């Protein structure tokens, strides 16, 4: 993992944010669309097509303008980059038809890293939540391609669950200084309905950041959670539901402990609005799914057999500080099945203190 301390001038040059209270108390430790449309614009949600069955209508008209960014807003993106493996074979079984671990050549790895970095650069985001990064080596390569001078992205943190074997992990990149990180997977047992005990499928990662206020001086605390719930391949729906319930409780507790912070959860949750896991996250009102106010055409992130589904999400903790900028949530994709070399689109949204 890489942490970069900011130069004072660089910190002052960060995108201006709205004023808020000072940083919260230190937390306790715990463990696919038209190719021509790269940036899909949102509009108020008036569609009658539920995400739970996918959305297969024609793409919206090109005349709809993209969202205009509030210059004082913080932009956050989440994106599943699709299996970014490094060039080291950790398992001894790599690259074969039945091998889970991929072993790209140096050129293949550089091409994949460059694609990821180019897309992130196009987001113009301040914080990026990533899924399916194998290792610190892979994450560091992305940061080096994205920020060759090492002065723009101050924080990069990987939620590694298997340093000695191949895993696709979550990560958080930010343009702001790092305060601390908390890894919840090992310390959060998940009790399933049948009485068995499981863990989060991937790390449930929490990273705290110092973000300058509107005057570029006083720091605000931003807390970002990165998630990647159990996929529907070899499905375990009860595990995904348990992940959602535990994530809800962890984020809600952080909001109660740090009410002055802006708290955001993002990731590939592998389920759609109206499903049991999404209902578990949203039902109490402690978390607000920010793309709920935009048309389904502008929030779907995954194309499964022609069904366009919203399975990548961003949430705001309503019990803490800050607000979502209405209408700012939008999917970013450049081919009918996702973005770049990934089979997922990215989801972006803007927030204010």
Return the minimum-mean-pLDDT range out of 35-39, 200-204, 304-308.
35-39
Q: Which of the four pLDDT bands, split at 50, 70 and 90, describes residue 70?
A: confident
Distance of CA 1 to the CA centre of its chain: 17
- Provide the β-strand partners of residue 317: 287
Residue 66 is predicted with a pLDDT of 59
125-159 pLDDT per residue, tens: 999 999 999 999 999 999 999 999 999 999 999 99
Q: Which of 158, 148, 254 is nearest to 202 (CA)?
A: 158
- Per-residue pLDDT, averaged over 302-309, amounts to 95
Helix (H, G, I), strand (E, B) or coil at 291: helix
Closest C-alpha among 259, 304, 321, 311 to residue 289: 311
Share of the chain above pLDDT 70, in %: 80
**DSSP per-residue codes, 227-275:** EEPPPTTTT-HHHHHHHHHHHHHHHHHHHHH-TTSEEEEEEE-S--TTS
Tell me the chain's radius of gyration from C-alpha atoms.
19
Q: Which of 82-91, 162-171, 247-256 has the lowest mean pLDDT?
A: 162-171
Our CA angle for 72, 222, 184, nearest 5°, is 150
314-331 pLDDT, tens digit each: 999 999 999 999 999 999
C-alpha dist (Å) from residue 91 to 8, 95, 103, 138, 162: 43, 11, 10, 16, 11
Q: Which of 11, 63, 5, 24 is nearest to 223 (CA)?
A: 24
């Amino acid at each position: 993992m890489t942490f970069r301390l900011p130069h004072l001038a660089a910190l002052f040059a960060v995108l201006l944010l709205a004023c808020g209270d000072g940083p919260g108390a230190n937390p306790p430790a715990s463990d696919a669309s038209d190719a021509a449309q790269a940036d899909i614009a949102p509009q108020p949600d008036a569609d009658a097509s539920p995400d739970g069955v996918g959305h297969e209508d024609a793409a919206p008209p090109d005349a709809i303008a993209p969202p205009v960014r509030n210059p004082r807003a913080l932009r956050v993106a989440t994106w599943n980059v699709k299996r970014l493996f490094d060039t080291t074979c950790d398992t001894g079984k790599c690259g074969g038809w039945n091998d889970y671990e991929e072993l790209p050549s140096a050129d293949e790895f550089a091409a994949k890293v460059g694609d990821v970095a180019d897309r992130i650069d196009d987001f113009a985001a301040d914080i990026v939540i990533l899924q399916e990064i194998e290792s610190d080596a892979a994450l560091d390569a992305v940061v080096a391609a994205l920020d060759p001078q090492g002065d723009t992205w101050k924080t990069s943190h990987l939620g590694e669950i298997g340093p000695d074997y191949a895993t696709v992990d979550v990560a958080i990149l930010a343009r702001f200084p790092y305060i601390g990180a908390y890894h919840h997977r090992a310390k959060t047992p998940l009790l399933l309905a049948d009485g068995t005990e499981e863990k989060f499928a991937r790390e449930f990662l929490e990273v705290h950041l110092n973000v300058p206020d509107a005057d570029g001086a006083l720091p605000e605390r931003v807390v970002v959670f990165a998630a990647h719930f159990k996929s529907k391949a070899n499905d375990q729906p009860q595990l995904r539901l348990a992940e959602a319930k535990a994530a809800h409780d962890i984020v809600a507790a952080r909001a109660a402990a740090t009410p002055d912070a802006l708290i955001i959860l993002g990731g590939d949750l592998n389920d759609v609005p109206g499903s049991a896991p999404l209902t578990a996250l949203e039902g109490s009102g402690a978390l607000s799914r920010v793309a709920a106010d935009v048309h389904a055409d502008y929030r779907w992130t995954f194309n499964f057999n022609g069904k366009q589904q919203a399975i990548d999400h961003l949430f705001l903790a309503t019990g803490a500080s800050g607000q979502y900028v209405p209408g700012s949530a939008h999917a970013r994709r450049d081919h009918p099945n996702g973005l770049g070399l990934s089979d997922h689109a990215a989801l972006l949204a803007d927030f204010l203190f």
